[in-house]
Amino acid sequence: MSAVFAPAKSHSVIHESLRIAGEKVARDRVIEVRHPYSGELVATVPKAMLEDVKRALRIARDYRSKLTRHDRYRILMKAGEIVAARRDEIARLITLESGLCLKDTQYEVGRASDVMLFAANQALVDDGQVFSCDLTAHGKSRKVYTLKEPLLGAITAITPFNHPLNQVIHKIAPAVATNNRVVLKPSEKTPLAAYLIADILYEAGLPPEMLSVVTGDPAEIADELLTSPDVDLVTFTGGVTIGKYIAAKAVYKRQILELGGNDPIIVMEDADLEEAATLAVSGSYKNSGQRCTAIKRMLVQESVADRFVELLVQKTRALKYGDPFDPAMDMGTVIDEPAAIHFEKVVNEAIAQGAKLLVGNVRCGALYSPTVLDHVRPEMTVVREETFGPVSPVIRFKTLDEAIQIVNGTAYGLSSSLCTNRLDIITRVVQELHVGSVNVREVPGYRLEMTPFGGIKDSGLGYKEGVLEAMKSFCNSKTYSLPW
Ligand code: NAD
């Protein structure tokens, strides 16, 4: 670990403005953005007034995009190319606001380019269907056609801090591809990448009416974003508490809610333990453990648990963490000091209840070390609730029945990872886990930006994200029939 609280780099402070249909609007009241590693002020973003939000939503509702499929393809491809060309600079901006290390943020920028590539290509695909009507004895010589149309009203998009660019682009790119209009409210903790991607999209030719970005105090502006008659759909990624607040508030709006996770890796006795431990480490510590699909519980069959834990400890110790701007680091900080203090607290609580600390639990400001806890029991807070940080709690189990019961025993149901080569086990786990995905011999977070993604139970309503699914949910389906 390197020294903390030394000014990491000399950055001039950025003073952001709202983007209301492309217009830059400054406000006297601001929110400060601080670099989590050094605590230094790196930017201010405006606190939008209620009137700003109303204006952004009204413009979005009233605007009717005339962009052809080819236009949308060109805009998204161009924006993706700009992002790819400015990868290092954008990665540094995300590191500055989030404390994520450069390895993580460079990876994130690459993912964001993929999202735009997939959305651009999907804009070219006509997803209409044709149904012949002379299929039964009482049929007719007609055809029913389907047509996907953008929503009449605006889309409200609200995003979390953990992937400041990728969470945002997963909502904007499918909206652009389907000719919708979005008002985005990114996390106040990491708002800078959101403003930057809006500018890149405008530069790539997006009509500014199709995207506004607002930041502010949720207590002042969130309800307007959720309840305004100008809004048809709310797409939200974030924690369960706010997700359920939105579910109750945004009455008669279409709701896409991608909430928290408590994803397990299950390691069976036949597993390649070297591979399992490598997956466990990358699944647990990448992005400082702040992924909805990070591995938050390690369920290991008792007969191989000692060897697995030995490898896990070895690989955890090998991880370099510290100054997020040091390119050699594998992990930077978590989002802020209160988050790190919370991890320390739940880990200490587990130790007091009999868990064994093998590595870590060292905190310095917002820097929290990769931490391995053995002999954790399912009822301990560190695994019963979502621990959104670099903690690896190992739970030992005897039988597959027991493992399945433990996995299904929390409120969450996002994703999962299974290490085995036995088809009978794979079959049971795929069928019996109450989750949105199962990845065999891969981390729970593995996916393409295009494939369906999302959870059930407290992790979400079962409507998926990923470019294809988001495009579907952002459209109204109209049918029309013709007499031939
Ligand atoms: P959060 O729920 O605290 O905040 C998310 C967003 O909601 C922020 O933009 C915040 O300003 C906004 N918000 C705050 N109050 C609001 C209100 N009353 N109405 C509407 N919006 C309001 O989440 P976070 O701490 O930024 O992110 C971490 C959480 O996100 C974790 O639980 C994580 O698992 C989850 N997450 C889920 C997914 C997924 O796809 N399932 C992906 C990433 C993160």
What does the pLDDT look like over 358-401, one tens digit per residue? Answer: 999 999 999 999 999 999 999 999 999 999 999 999 999 999 99
Q: How confident is the model at residue 301 (pLDDT cuts 50, 70, 90)?
A: very high
Residues near ligand 1 (Cβ within 6 A): 158-162, 185, 187-188, 218, 222, 237-239, 242, 245-246, 258-261, 292, 386, 388, 414, 455, 459-460
CA gyration radius, the chain: 23
Nearest to 366 by CA among 100, 92, 183: 100
Give the per-residue pLDDT at 484.
82
Axis-axis angle for helices 192-203, 166-177 (nearest 10): 30
- Kindly state the tokens that stand for 408: 């299904």
Give the pLDDT of residue 9: 54
Residue identifier of the C-alpha nearest atom 39 of ligand 1 = 258
ipTM value > 0.85: yes
CB 298 within 8 A of CB 265: yes
Length of the chain: 484
d(CA 317, CA 327): 18
Quick check: helix, strand or coil at residue 108? helix
Report, as an integer, the average pLDDT of 412-433: 98
Range 108-114 average pLDDT: 97
Residue 54 has pLDDT above 60, yes or no: yes
pLDDT band at residue 127 using 50, 70 and 90 as cut-offs: confident
> How far from 267 is each of 153, 398, 427, CA to CA, in Å?
47, 11, 15
**CA 185, CA 191: separation in Å to the nearest integer?**
8
Q: Where are the alpha helices (DSSP H) in 389-463?
A: 400-407, 423-432
Residues 216-266 have pLDDT tens digits of 999 999 999 999 999 999 999 999 999 999 999 999 999 999 999 999 999
- Residues 15-51: pLDDT tens digits? 999 999 999 999 999 999 999 999 999 999 999 999 9
Q: Any idea what DSSP says for residue 95?
A: H
User: Which residues have a Cβ under 8 Å from the Cβ of 24 and sit 6 or more positions away?
Assistant: 17, 18
Protein residue closest via CA to atom 14 of ligand 1? 218
Nearest CA to ligand 1 atom 21: 222
- Cα–Cα separations (whole angstroms), residue 417 to 307, 402, 438: 19, 16, 6
Query: Does the reported pTM lie above 0.80?
Result: yes
